[in-house]
Amino acid sequence: MVKKADRPQHIIKSALGLAASGQWPSAGLRDIAEAADVSLAELHAIYPSKPAILRAYFNAIDATVLGAKFAFDKKDGPRDRLFDVLMRRFDVLSEDRDAVIAILNALRCDPLSALCLSAGLAGSMRWMLEAAGIKVSGPTGRLIVKGLTTVWLATLRVWQRDDSEDMSRTMAALDKNLRRAERLFALLPTGRRRTAQPQQDASPA
Domain residue ranges in the chain? 4-46, 61-200
Q: Three-state DSSP class for 3?
A: coil
| pLDDT surpassing 50 at residue 196 | no
pLDDT at position 32: 98
Amino acid 198: pLDDT: 44
Q: CB within 8 A of 200, min separation 6: which ones?
A: none
Using an 8 Å Cβ cutoff, are 90 and 167 in contact? Answer: yes
> What pTM did the predictor assign?
0.87
Q: Which has the closest alpha carbon to 176: 155, 202, 162, 195? A: 155
Cα–Cα distances in Å, from 45 out to 98, 113, 146, 205? 27, 19, 33, 37
Kindly tell me the number of DSSP H helices and DSSP E strands found in the chain. 10, 0
Instruction: Give the integer Cα–Cα distance in Å for 198 and 188.
Output: 15
pLDDT, average across residues 23-45: 96
More confidently predicted of 93 and 112? 93
| Residue with the larger pLDDT of the pair 119 and 164 | 164
Strand, helix or coil at 98?
A: helix
Of 64-73, 94-103, 142-151, 189-198, the poorest mean pLDDT is in: 189-198
Residue 204 has pLDDT above 90, yes or no: no
Q: Does domain 4-46 have CATH number 3.40.50?
A: no
154 HSE (CA, 13 A, CB side): 16
Residue-wise burial string across 79-113, b where 16 or more C-beta atoms lie within 10 A, e elsewhere: eebbbebbbbbbebbeebeebbbbbbebbeebeeb
- How far apart are alpha carbons 73 and 51 in whole angstroms? 38
DSSP assignment letter at 75 = T
- pLDDT higher than 70, residue 195: no
- Rounded to whole angstroms, the Cα distance separating 130 from 144 reads 12
Q: What is the pLDDT of residues 138-172, one digit of tens each?
A: 888 899 999 999 999 999 999 999 999 999 999 99
Q: How confident is the model at residue 190 (pLDDT cuts 50, 70, 90)?
A: low
Fill in the amino acid letter for 189: P
